Amino acid sequence: MLPVKEIQERSDRHPKPSDIKFQYGTAGFRTLGKTLDSVLFRVGKLDGKTIGVMVTASHNPEPDNGVKLVDPRGEMLESSWEAHATALANAPSSVAFVAVVDELVRATKIDLSIPARVVYARDTRPTGPQLVAALKDGLEAIKAEYRDAGVTTTPVLHYLVRTINTKGTKDSYGEDTEEGYLTKISDAFKKLLAGKPPPPPLLIDCANGVGALMAERFKAYLGDIFAINVVNADLHTPGVLNNSCGADFVKVNQKLPPSITLQPGQRACSLDGDADRLMYYYADEHGQFHMLDGDKITTLVASYIVELVKASGLDEQIKVGVIQTAYANGSSTKYLSGRLPVKCVPTGVKHLHHAAEQYDIGVYFEANGHGTALTNLRNIIDVINQTVGDALSDAFLVEAVLAHKSFSGVEWDSMYCDLPNRLVKVVVSDRNAFKTEDAERRLVSPLGLQVKVDELMRKYGGGRSFVRPSGTEDVVRVYAEAATRAEADELAFRVAGLVYDEAGGDPSQRPKEFI
């Protein structure tokens, strides 16, 4: 029996704002932190097994917050559950909410005699404690068993969910503690590096977010085999989170955070606000900045794995594949396609991860640095978080591969040369009017718009552009790449102008850079 009265009474304390319709986007619910209280109260009611709830808005500005749900395997929520989560979040009243819970229990045959189990964590955002309190209230209303993992990274929470659910089984993934996580990854990294000269010290920009806590803790576990230098680790000053630093800043601006100076030849990396995203970069001999994004990481790691598999003579038995999204740089796709199967899927780690599982070894990184490799190779398997992209463990993997190949940033970067590209946001009145097919590479709606995009593309040799609605922000994104910087910009701004006009944008507000 559902404790209806209890749920209803407590739900009344967390009313849903009537003017908001919550959407489960590319990476969960995400919006201004202060509007999310009712969502947090409601999201815990999902399953009989241990699931995870991560309160974070990742690379978004500090006032935003959000919630990511982690399935019992420690992976991103199955899409079938997203509809349930959305229905729960949008029930207009506590009475309607109870009815949705009731319907969910019946439709998915949840056994109410087994208490729901939830482990939750939050990043360092100021709205985190209040949202966690709402979540706790919701969990108590349904008499769930819960564990508070405190302030930690998204990958640690994914790790905890997997270890809790596999505890004592043959699939045991490790100790269900932060120490277990740190030990597992650092031990495997040390084994991978055995016999190789230690990599040069690595500067890690933690975006003034929770990744700093974990990076600091790793130091003790890495001993003297690998030195890390943690910067942008201010967890106290208001407003600094993801501000002019972190993975998103580097990717979007294609430049160093102003707080960082690199010596010629030095390599460094940036995490995002919940440490599941990684951008690498280095300074060349003239001190010039070069970015090594998710596509470069895919290329480095996948090529290395292909070499290992070939060297072991197992290339007939072990299927290695790469998964990308439409945002992958065309040059990376070209380079990789000549060497192994490459598949394109819609944006969002949940799509990439599930596609990667179809291979014996599946490597995926979004261009913006979310990713991991799912593999059966011992040592590699342990250094990489198998549940979700994990910026710190990904960085260790990169360092290990570079050490094995005796590569510096220069050799890594020269595997292929990025096509100049531009990403533009277009604010429209209804982004849901934009619908896509072919892994988001083509528009099916608004009708006729794709034909016009195609016409523009044909004018640029090697040009490629596509339009899709964002799943995390209220905008439509336009991506373009072409042979030169100027052409990539021109194509992107032309397509952006087209989208703006087609969507009925106000001519007086039209951004001046749109052509």
Ligand X SMILES: CC(=O)N[C@H]1[C@@H](OP(=O)(O)O)O[C@H](CO)[C@@H](O)[C@@H]1O
Among all residues, which ones are annotated catalytic? 58
Indicate whether 355 belongs to the interface with ligand X (CB under 6 A): no
Surface-to-core class of residue 475, CB atoms within 10 Å of its CB (0-12 exposed, 13-18 middle, 19+ buried) = middle
Q: How far is the CB of 492 from ligand X (least distance, A)?
A: 13
Binding flag, residue 349, ligand X (CB under 6 A): yes
Instruction: Check whether 379 is labelled as a binding-site residue.
Output: no
**Angle in degrees, CA 421, 423, 428, rounded to 5:** 150
Q: Which does 228 bind (CB under 5 to 8 A by kind): ligand X, Mg ion, none?
A: none
Distances (CA, A) of 139 to 111, 187, 198, 311, 403: 16, 36, 47, 51, 47
User: Side chain identity at 215, as an amino acid letter?
Assistant: A
Task: Out of 470, 474, 511, 515, point to the residue binding ligand X (CB under 6 A).
Answer: 470
Nearer to ligand X, 241 or 349 (CB): 349
DSSP string across 457-476:
HHTSTT-EEEEEE-SSSSSE
Using CB under 5 A, list all residues that contact Mg ion.
58, 272, 274, 276-277
421-426 and 476-481 strand pairing: antiparallel
Binder to ligand X among 52, 128, 211, 348 (CB under 6 A)?
Answer: 348
Query: In the chain, what is the greatest distance between 2 CA atoms, to the nearest angstrom?
Result: 69
Q: Which is nearer to Mg ion, 372 or 465 (CB)?
A: 372
Q: Interface with ligand X includes 425 (CB under 6 A)?
A: no
Interface with ligand X, residue 471, by CB under 6 A: yes
Indicate whether 27 belongs to the interface with ligand X (CB under 6 A): yes
> How far apart are CB 349 and ligand X at their closest, in Å?
6
Nearer residue to ligand X within complex by CB, 62 or 178: 62
Q: Tell me, by CB under 6 A, how many residues bind ligand X.
A: 15
- Residue placing its CB nearer to ligand X in the complex, 266 or 472: 472
Report whether 472 belongs to an annotated binding site: yes
* Candidates 68-76, 235-243, 391-399, 472-480; binding stretch for ligand X (CB under 6 A): 472-480
Which amino acid, residue 280? Y
Q: Shortest gap between Cβ of 115 and ligand X (angstroms)?
A: 31
Q: Please report whether residue 369 would count as binding ligand X according to CB under 6 A.
A: no
Applying CB under 6 A, does 465 fall inside the site for ligand X?
Answer: no
Please give the order of strands across the beta sheet that includes 117-122: 29-32, 64-70, 50-55, 117-122, 145-151
Q: Is 27 annotated as a binding residue?
A: no
Shortest distance, CB of residue 58 to Mg ion, whole angstroms? 3
58 in contact with ligand X (CB under 6 A): yes
Handedness of CA 242, 246, 252, 256 (dihedral sign): positive
Six-digit token string for 203 = 């500067």
Q: Closer to Mg ion by CB, 276 or 399: give it.
A: 276
Residue 342 to residue 325: CA distance in whole angstroms? 10
> DSSP string of 401-412?
HHHHHT--HHHH
Q: Which helix (H) or strand (E) holds 87?
A: helix 79-90
Smallest gap from residue 390 Cβ to Mg ion (A)? 10
Q: State how far the Cα of 338 lies from the Cα of 69, in Å rounded to an integer.
A: 37
Q: Which listed range, 70-78, 130-138, 160-168, 466-474, lies at the site for ligand X (CB under 6 A)?
A: 466-474
Contacts of 280 (CB under 8 A, 6+ apart): 267, 268, 269, 291, 292, 293, 296, 297, 395, 398, 409
Residue 366 contacts ligand X per CB under 6 A: yes
- In the complex, the smallest distance separating the C-beta of residue 187 from ligand X, rounded to whole angstroms, is 30
Q: Is 477 in the site for ligand X (CB under 6 A)?
A: yes
Q: How far apart are CA 251 and CA 245, in angstroms?
A: 10
Amino acid, single-letter form, for residue 38? S
- Partner in contact with 276, chosen from Mg ion, ligand X, none, beta carbon below 5 to 8 Å by kind: Mg ion
Q: Does 75 bind ligand X (CB under 6 A)?
A: no
Angle between helices 330-337 and 294-311 (to 10 degrees): 10
**The entry of Mg ion, ligand X, none that residue 470 binds, CB within 5 to 8 Å by partner kind:** ligand X
Which residue lies nearer to ligand X by CB, 41 or 81?
Answer: 81
Residue 485 marked ligand-binding: no
| Binding flag, residue 368, ligand X (CB under 6 A) | yes
Count Cα neighbours of 17 within 13 Å in the Cβ-side half-sphere.
Answer: 13
Q: How far is the CB of 473 from ligand X (least distance, A)?
A: 5
What's the one-letter identity of residue 472? T
Segment interacting with ligand X (CB under 6 A) among 136-144, 192-200, 306-314, 366-374:
366-374
**CA pair distance 474, 431, nearest whole angstrom:** 7
Report in angstroms how near the CB of residue 92 gets to Mg ion at its nearest: 31
CA distance 499 to 15: 37
Residue 375 structure tokens: 């593999």
What end-to-end distance do the CA atoms of the chain give, in Å? 61
Binding segment for ligand X (CB under 6 A), chosen from 208-216, 217-225, 345-353, 483-491, is 345-353
Nearest to 160 by CA among 271, 57, 54: 54
Q: Which residues are annotated as a binding site?
A: 58, 272, 274, 276, 366-368, 468-472, 477
Question: Which residues contribute to the annotated binding site for Mg(2+)?
Answer: 58, 272, 274, 276
Footprint on this chain of ligand X (rule: CB under 6 A): 26-27, 58, 327, 347-349, 366, 368, 370, 470-473, 477
Annotated binding-site members for substrate: 366-368, 468-472, 477
